[in-house]
A = this chain, B = another copy of it.
Amino acid sequence: MSFLSSFDKFQHHLSRESRTRGNGPFQMLDRIKCNKDIDLISFSGGVPLPSKFPIRNLSVRFPETGYFEEEIENRYPKEVDVSFDLGKDKSENNLDFEGALQYGQCQGIPELVNFIKEHVELAHSPRYKEWEIKLTNGNTIGLDYCLRLLVNYGDSVLIEKYTYPAAITTMSPLGVKFVSIDMDEEGMLPESLQGIMENWDASNGPRPRVLYTIPTGQNPTGSTLPIGRRKRIFALAQKYDIIIIEDEPYYFLQMDSYHGNVLASEIQKQDSTQNIGVSSFVNKLVPSFLKLDTEGRVLRLDSFSKLIAPGSRLGWITGNPLFIDRITRAAEVSTESPSGISQVALYAILNHWKQEGFFLWLQELQRTYTTRRNALLQYADKYLPNSICSYQIPNAGLFLWVELNKDRYLFSSQQKSVPEIELEIFQALLQKGVKPVCGQLFMAYPENNDRIFFRFAYSIAPIDKFEVGLQRFASTLKDFFILEKEELQAMI
Cβ contact within 8 Å between B340 and A311: yes
Contacts A86-B74, A426-B29, A459-B49; is A335 near B140 (CB within 8 Å)? yes
Cβ contact within 8 Å between A441 and B41: no
Kindly supply a per-residue 1/0 record for chain A positions 445-473, scoring 1 wherever the CB is within 8 Å of any chain B CB and 0 otherwise: 00000000001111111100100110010
Contacts A57-B61, A74-B51, A333-B169; is A29 near B313 (CB within 8 Å)? no
Q: Who on chain B is nearest to A75 by CB?
A: B87
Cβ contact within 8 Å between A460 and B35: no
Kindly supply a per-residue 1/0 record for chain A positions 333-370, scoring 1 wherever the CB is within 8 Å of any chain B CB and 0 otherwise: 11111111110010001000000000001001100110
Q: Which of B32, B312, B335, B460 is within 8 Å of A101, CB to CB?
A: B312
A318 to chain B, nearest CB (A): 19
Q: Which of B39, B86, B100 is within 8 Å of A433, CB to CB?
A: B39
Cβ contact within 8 Å between A459 and B46: yes
Bound CA–CA A340/B165 (angstroms):
23
The reply to whether the CB of A391 lies closer than 8 angstroms to some CB of chain B is: no
Cβ contact within 8 Å between B140 and A368: no
Interface residues of A in 155-196 (CB under 8 A from B): 165-166, 168-170, 172-175
Cβ contact within 8 Å between B49 and A56: no
The reply to whether the CB of A431 lies closer than 8 angstroms to some CB of chain B is: yes
Q: Who on chain B is nearest to A437 by CB?
A: B44
Contacts A41-B434, A62-B55; is A102 near B70 (CB within 8 Å)? no
The reply to whether the CB of A138 lies closer than 8 angstroms to some CB of chain B is: yes
Chain B neighbourhood of A365, CB < 8 A: 52
Chain B neighbourhood of A460, CB < 8 A: 42, 45, 47-49
Chain B neighbourhood of A364, CB < 8 A: 52
Contacts A49-B368, A102-B311; is A63 near B54 (CB within 8 Å)? yes
Cβ contact within 8 Å between A173 and B342: no
Interface residues of A in 72-109 (CB under 8 A from B): 73-76, 79, 81, 83, 86-87, 100-103, 105
Contacts A435-B42, A436-B43; is A332 near B166 (CB within 8 Å)? yes
Chain B neighbourhood of A372, CB < 8 A: 49
A52 to chain B, nearest CB (A): 6
Chain B neighbourhood of A434, CB < 8 A: 40-43
Bound CA–CA A25/B172 (angstroms):
12
The reply to whether the CB of A290 lies closer than 8 angstroms to some CB of chain B is: no
Could you name 26 residue pairs across A and B whose Cβ atoms are closer than 8 Å? A25-B441, A26-B437, A32-B423, A32-B430, A35-B432, A41-B472, A42-B460, A43-B434, A46-B457, A47-B457, A48-B460, A54-B361, A55-B312, A58-B58, A59-B61, A74-B86, A138-B335, A140-B333, A140-B336, A166-B333, A170-B333, A311-B340, A311-B341, A313-B337, A338-B339, A342-B342
Interface residues, chain A, CB within 8 Å of chain B? Answer: 16-18, 20-22, 24-26, 29, 32-35, 38-63, 70, 73-76, 79, 81, 83, 86-87, 100-103, 105, 137-138, 140-141, 144, 153, 165-166, 168-170, 172-175, 219, 305-306, 308-314, 330, 332-342, 345, 349, 361, 364-365, 368-369, 372, 398-399, 423, 426-427, 430-438, 441, 455-462, 465, 468-469, 472
Nearest 10 A/B pairs, CB to CB: A311-B340, A339-B339, A38-B433, A34-B430, A57-B61, A101-B311, A59-B59, A41-B469, A43-B456, A170-B333
